[in-house]
Amino acid sequence: MRIITFNANGIRAAARKGFFDWLPHQHADVVCIQETKAQAHQLTDPIFWPDGWDCYYSDAQKKGYSGVAIYSRHKPDAVEAVLGYAECPEFETEGRWLEARYGSLSVISLYMPSGSSGNERQTIKYRLMDCLYAYLSSLRNNSREYIICADWNIVHTEADIKNWRANQKNSGCLPEERAWLDRLYGELGYVDAFRQIDQAPEQYTWWSNRGQAWAKNVGWRIDYQVVSPGLANCVSATKIYQNQRFSDHAPLIIDYNLEL
Active site residues: 151
Cα–Cα nearest to 134, from 195, 102, 86: 86
Separation of alpha carbons 50 and 212, rounded Å: 34
CA gyration radius for the chain?
Answer: 17
Strand, coil or helix: what is 205? Answer: coil
Q: Where are the beta strands (DSSP E) in 104-234?
A: 105-111, 145-151, 191-192, 206-207, 219-220, 223-227
Residue 111 C-alpha from the chain's centroid: 6
Separation of alpha carbons 34 and 6, rounded Å: 6
Strand, coil or helix: what is 122? Answer: helix
